Amino acid sequence: MNGNLLRPTPPEAIAPLPAGRYTSLQVLGLHLLLLASLTSALYCFGIIRFLPAEATLRNWDVVWYEQIKTSGYSYSPKGISNVAFFPLFPYLWRYSGLGLLGISLVNAGLFLAAATWLARQLALPARLQLLLLSTPVLLFMIVPYSEALFFAFGALLLAGLRQRRLGWWLLGLLGCGLTRSASTLFMPALFFMVVLWAGQPGQRRTALRWGAWAVLALALSVGIVALMQWQQTGEPLGFVKVKRAWGQFFRLPDFPLFDPSGIDMLWLDGLGIWLGVAATALCAWLFGQQLGRWRGRAAGAVLPPEVLFSLGYCASTGLFLLFFQGGSI
């Protein structure tokens, strides 16, 4: 027998598994297969009672987005108004000419494409991609909501931070700010990122420059929204007034926390709150580490700006849910 057959193959001689887009596409295909199988099984057993259709998709905030798409903005001092919703998604929906089911399919495709692209940019392992794609709240990415568009711009700004592409960063911030009232929660996250980024050796000028441009991008998005609503309703700050009329203003939370949708969603929202609390605690610890660095004491590991911004945004979201919605999560 040939003795070479008994020798182990050296690691460098083993062909690597396909990576990059092939791995991401395989993960995406597996995710869609599992999702379709699970949905079919739940529908057969009566747990899921409705499939996506024009009649079943017109619920909750979809009504507001469809109203903006059809007839633009309207404002009422009593708070029953669509100015709380930002314009980019409903106007893109208008110009697409699609119905409820059509725009849902576009949202699903946009989200999956953005998620696949972001996974490649971050070099995420296949198993982690599959886990993240299976997060329950991603259901909102495949209905006529603005979440899919917001996610796509969010992926762009994170990739811009990671690769130090200022144009991607600013376009992502501007798109997010025109899609949702992101500046409310982005500003604390931006402040946290800039402070810790600027504290890293040799990064102060870069951090301050990126932070200043980010503030301008967010201010521009708010200005565009205010101008549009002022032209259509005569009230430039209607989105601020309506939020307050809907009960979103600073106050201590009422315990026990609750969800208007009932127990079916309370467990998921509760998990989100705990993630926000954990992110807040981690941000506080990192800020304490930065203070120690300024005072000359030893500090912990340095985190990249995209991680700092993500942590700050998660903490801002959790704190907003606790202190601006009166116990409703």
The predicted-structure confidence for 232-252, as pLDDT tens digits, reads as follows: 998 888 888 888 777 788 888
> In the beta sheet, which residues pair with residue 328?
258
| Alpha-carbon span 232 to 225, nearest angstrom | 11
| 33 belongs to a structural domain | no
Q: What is the pLDDT of residue 23?
A: 66
More confident of the two residues 275 and 46 = 275
| 9 belongs to a structural domain | no
For the ranges 71-80, 86-95, 181-190, the lowest mean pLDDT is seen at: 71-80
Model-wide pTM > 0.75: yes
| 120 belongs to a structural domain | yes
| 50 belongs to a structural domain | no
More confident of the two residues 133 and 233 = 233
Burial class (CB in 10 A: 0-12, 13-18, 19+), 132: middle
| 41 belongs to a structural domain | no
Average pLDDT over the chain, rounded to an integer: 84
Evaluate if residue 162 carries a pLDDT over 60. yes
| 157 belongs to a structural domain | yes
| 39 belongs to a structural domain | no
Which tokens sit at 65?
């987005």
Q: What is the pLDDT of residue 92?
A: 95
Number of folded domains that form the chain? 1
For the ranges 18-32, 175-189, 209-223, the lowest mean pLDDT is seen at: 18-32
254: containing domain: 21-28+58-323
Burial class (CB in 10 A: 0-12, 13-18, 19+), 282: middle
How sure is the predictor about 16, in pLDDT bands with cuts at 50, 70 and 90? Answer: very low
| 276 belongs to a structural domain | yes
How sure is the predictor about 22, in pLDDT bands with cuts at 50, 70 and 90? Answer: low
pLDDT tens-digit profile of 82-115?
A: 898 999 999 999 999 899 989 999 999 999 899 9
